[in-house]
């Protein structure tokens, strides 16, 4: 856990315990649960290590936001109920401004949210990202950390198996591969990934994904 060295041990344990409790409460599976949170925390730290002048408040907002971002995923929990729980967790721990920053980020970073809000410019479809003001860097670091973990084939496989448990192995793998070809492998070319560090690792993550498809390796564990 030393990659979270700007948070002392007790807040980190507190944060991860909250995530585990919410996952149990709402039956959030492994693909969006504590392992995903921990992996995304590591990706976020890697990205922040490539930033020169982030404030401690920005770092803290990133780490809280990326850890809890899927606790308000509408696939698992009603949004109003999720935000109520998360706000109650954050308010005793963060300043009001930082609490609102985290809540704003986690509600506007998902692929589905952004994909539904594309703009047309010069006859072409263009991504639109919300303006989070002084927290914009924290928003994009958080968003990129989640995208980088999206390259893990096992995560997509496990979610697909949970959603369609009666499908054959071939059908499951074919659907996962189609999603990667349509979405994941296009993250850089379609403008979802723009951060220099994320771009620098995307090609190797893509190669790892292709090897996972070749061997049908769906193991999903901590980095």
- The pTM for the full model equals 0.92
Reduced to 3 states (helix: H, G, I; strand: E, B; else coil), residue 50 is coil
Helix (H) or strand (E) holding 120: strand 119-121
Helix (H) or strand (E) holding 59: helix 56-68
How far is residue 175 from each of residues 55, 69, 79, 107, measured CA to CA in Å? 42, 25, 27, 27
pLDDT of residue 5: 45
Taking the chain (223 residues) in runs of 10, the rounded mean pLDDT of each run is: 47 91 94 95 96 95 97 92 96 96 97 85 80 97 98 96 96 97 96 97 98 94 76
pLDDT of residue 121: 66
pLDDT of residue 223: 65
Span 2-117+131-215 CATH architecture:
Orthogonal Bundle (1.10)
pLDDT of residue 33: 93
Reduced to 3 states (helix: H, G, I; strand: E, B; else coil), residue 153 is helix
Per-residue pLDDT tens digits for 98-129: 999 999 999 999 999 999 888 766 667 789 99
pLDDT of residue 4: 45
d(CA 219, CA 104): 32
């Amino acid at each position: 856990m030393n990659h979270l060295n700007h948070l002392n041990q007790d807040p980190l344990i507190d944060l991860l315990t909250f995530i585990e409790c919410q996952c149990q409460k709402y039956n959030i599976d492994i693909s969006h649960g504590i392992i995903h949170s921990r992996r995304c925390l590591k990706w976020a730290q890697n990205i922040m290590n490539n930033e020169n002048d982030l404030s401690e408040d920005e770092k803290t907002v990133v780490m809280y936001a990326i850890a809890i971002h899927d606790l308000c995923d509408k696939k698992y929990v009603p949004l109003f109920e999720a935000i109520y729980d998360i706000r109650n967790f954050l308010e005793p721990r963060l300043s009001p401004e930082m609490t609102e920053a985290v809540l704003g980020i986690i509600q506007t970073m998902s692929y589905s949210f952004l994909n539904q809000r594309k703009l047309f410019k010069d006859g072409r479809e263009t991504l639109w990202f919300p303006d989070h003001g002084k927290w914009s860097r924290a928003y994009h670091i958080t968003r990129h950390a989640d995208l980088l973990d999206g390259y893990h084939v096992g995560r997509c496989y496990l979610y697909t198996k949970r959603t369609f448990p009666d499908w054959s192995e071939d059908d499951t793998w074919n659907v996962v591969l189609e999603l990667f070809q349509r979405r994941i492998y296009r993250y850089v070319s379609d403008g979802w990934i723009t951060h220099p560090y994320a771009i620098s690792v995307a090609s190797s993550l893509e190669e790892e994904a292709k090897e996972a498809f070749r061997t049908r390796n769906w193991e999903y564990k901590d980095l």
